[in-house]
Structure 1
Amino acid sequence: MKLSKQWIQQLPLTGVTAWHAVSGGDINEAYQLTAAGRRYFMKVQPNHSATYFDHEVSGLKAIGAVITTPKPQYQGQIDGDAYLVLNWLDSGSGSQYVLGQAVAMMHSQHQQRFGFVDNHETGKIKKDNSWNDSWVDFYLHQRLEPEVAAASEAGRWSRWRQEHFRAMCDQFGQYYAVHSVVPSLLHGDLWAGNYLFLADGTPALIDPDAIYGDPEFDLAMTTVFGGFEPAFYQGYASILPLDDGLNDRLSWYRFYYLCMHLVLFGEMYGGAVDNILAGF
């Protein structure tokens, strides 16, 4: 969408002198605004209510209490479009080791149950973050099964995929029946596009899809598309040692992210999904 001057003038920002589109992900429109000499980052989700960004705001506040995140400035709806205005972060370069330590600090924040304070919608999938005492129940029924249902509805599921998916779920349930998980604050979409370093080298996390869950869920995402160096995991382990057999467990969490891409972007991700399912 192209924002009109009339649309911009309805923002609760005075003195907006410039705005232009910037890269900001696949789900929302993204813009840089300049107002009263300050720059802002704005997301717009067309044809949604002002509450659309509630989950992101809650996640930014929870994570931002521990490490650096953009700070929500304004949120609302204009002409039927939801918007969220954040402060602009100037990027620089920094240490992957320190980034790993920052993520471990985030994972050191705990809750009594799994889930989050509000739900969220990603494309065609509505994520149920209702509090749950069981990580197995939360992950299987509030994360994986809605994805598979959406993939099936889109014609991107098969009997073979379903058989191996059930086998993966069975192994997941058996493992966590005897291995406990402490509900930890997760970013929820920790790929390389969702971290940056400020001009002074401070690591920052952006675009969260926060929940309290298994820290290995976040770590799995760091391995899907790359962008995290060995120093990141060394820094993480300096605060939270990595459990034995981690690499053997990451595939059932990688599945979540790759299946989401299968739903959102099509069969180009089918081979990656099948590679995981073939292991079960």
Structure 2
Amino acid sequence: MLVDESWYEELDLGKIEDVQTVSGGDINLAFRVIADTGEYFLKVQPDNNESFFDHEVESLNLINSVANAPKVIRSGTFRDNSYLILNYIHFGTGSQYDLGQLVAKMHQRHSLRFGLGHDVLNASNPKINTWRANWGDFYIQQRLNVLINEVQKKGLWNGQRDKMMRRFEEKLMEYYQVHPIIPSLMHGDLWNGNVGFEQNRQPILFDPDVFFGNREMDIAMTLLFGGFGKEFYQGYQELYPLDKDWQKRVSWYQTYYLLAHLNLFGETYGADFDNILKQSVEN
């Protein structure tokens, strides 16, 4: 699909000088739009309407209320294509310490309950975001069990996994009955491909999937695939220290992310998932 001159009036970005195809992930088509008013990042989802981007718009706006993410210009529908316009980011380098502090600032935005008030069902890993008062209830019922159901449909679940998961969930319920958590604004997919630095060295967060949850879940994701230096955790801890023994609970949340990868990519991630689930039961 081409974004040609027929799009220019719809985009309403002034005089458009050039539109270039850029990499934008597996899900959307992506373009750099150069206009006399500035440079913009355009995402397009064919055969859909603007509601496709509603959650991303909400996520970016929530993060920008306390931290730094691409700015939403506008979203809409044109010729059965949904689109989202963001400001274009020119990348530079920056400090991992500053990045840690940025994530801590995001986590310092709180809510009275866990969730978001509406579900995200147009994703490969669906999210149920009904508001709940207890983190254990939310994490088990609206994250783990939702994905277990998806994995079962694909024939990737078995008796041993089920037995271990039930033991893990019992442990979670017992722990969070007596260790209440303050809900934090979560990025939701905080791996090193979704963070960066602008040319002025300011850290920035990309492609969020927000909800209000336990911030240890975001931190566990940063430790799953690497790419975050020790200065990141120093910056984070100085601004918003994690609860005692948080390292022991890292596997509790990596279990979710590896279950998500099992759902997306199949048994390639089966052994990793089994290992982290075993750690979660034993830790």
Q: In the alignment, what sits opposite 1:234?
A: 234
1:224 counterpart = 2:227: no
CA-CA distance at 1:123 after TM superposition: 3.2
Deviation (angstroms), 1:76: 1.3
- The within-5 A match list for 1:107-126 is 107-121=107-121, 123-126=123-126
Question: What secondary structure sits across from 2:151 in the alignment?
Answer: helix
Q: Which residue matches 2:7? A: 8
Q: Which residue of 2 aligns with 1:64?
A: 64
Cα separation, 1, equivalents of 2:24 and 2:123:
15
Please tell me whether the aligned partners of residues 93 and 201 of structure 1 are also in contact (alpha carbons under 8 angstroms). yes
- The structure in which a higher percent of residues are helix is 2
Aligned 8 A contact 2:108 2:185 in 1: yes
What is the CA-CA distance between 1:14 and the residue it aligns to? 4.1
Letter in 1 for 2:201: G
Structure 1 range deviating more: 42-51 or 221-230: 42-51
Question: 2:3 touches 2:19 (CA, 8 Å); kept in 1?
Answer: no
Unaligned runs of 5+ in 2: none
Matched residue of 1:250: which SS?
Answer: helix
Aligned-residue offset at 1:244? 2.4
Q: 1:228 to 1:278 in 2, by over 3 A?
A: same
Separation in 1, partners of 2:274, 2:43? 34
- The match for 1:250 is 250
Cα distance in 1 for partners of 2:12, 2:37 equals 15
Q: TM-score, normalised by structure 1?
A: 0.93
> Which residue of 2 is the match for residue 206 of structure 1?
206
The answer as to 2:147 corresponding to 1:147 is: yes
SS in 2 for 1:231: helix
C-alpha deviation, 1:68, in angstroms: 1.4
Distance in 1 of aligned mates of 2:21 and 2:160: 42
Question: Structure 2 CA distance, aligned partners of 1:46 and 1:168?
Answer: 41
After superposing the two structures, state which structure 1 stretch, 5-14 or 171-180, moved more: 5-14
Any idea what the Cα deviations from partners look like across 1:146-184, whole Å, max 9, x if unmatched?
A: 111111112222222221111111111111111010011
**Match for residue 46 of structure 2?**
46
Which position in structure 2 is the counterpart of 1:179? 179
Conserved in 2, the CA contact under 8 Å of 1:55 and 1:119?
Answer: no
Report the TM-score when normalising by structure 2: 0.92
Q: Which runs of 4+ in 1 moved over 6 A?
A: none
SS in 2 for 1:238: helix
Aligned residues: percent identity?
43
Q: Give SS of 2:93's match.
A: coil
Structure 1 distance, partners of 2:259, 2:122, is: 13
SS in structure 1 opposite 2:19? strand
Query: 5+ unaligned residues in a row in structure 1: which ranges?
Result: none
Distance 1:121 1:44, change over 3 A: farther
Structure 2 CA distance for partners of 1:162 and 1:85, relative to 1, 3 Å:
same
- The two structures, once aligned, show a CA RMSD in angstroms of 1.8
Question: What amino acid is the match of 1:5?
Answer: D
State the distance in 2 between where 1:148 and 1:20 align: 40
Change (3 A) 1:67 1:22: same
What letter matches 2:128 in structure 1?
D
Deviates more, 1:216-225 or 1:254-263: 254-263
Report deviation, 1:96.
0.5
Equivalents in 2 of 1:260, 1:7: separation in Å? Answer: 39
CA distance in 1 between counterparts of 2:30 and 2:227 reads 22
CA distance in structure 1 between the aligned counterparts of 2:111 and 2:276, rounded to whole angstroms: 30
- Higher mean displacement: 232-241 or 80-89: 80-89
* Alpha-carbon separation, structure 2, partners of 1:214 and 1:36: 43
141-150 vs 269-278, which moves further: 269-278
* Structure 2 Cα separation of the partners of residues 156 and 48 of structure 1: 30
| CA apart distance, 1:69 | 1.0
CA distance in 1, matches of 2:17, 2:158: 52
Q: Secondary structure of 1:33's match?
A: strand
> Which stretch shows the higher mean deviation, 115-124 or 203-212?
115-124
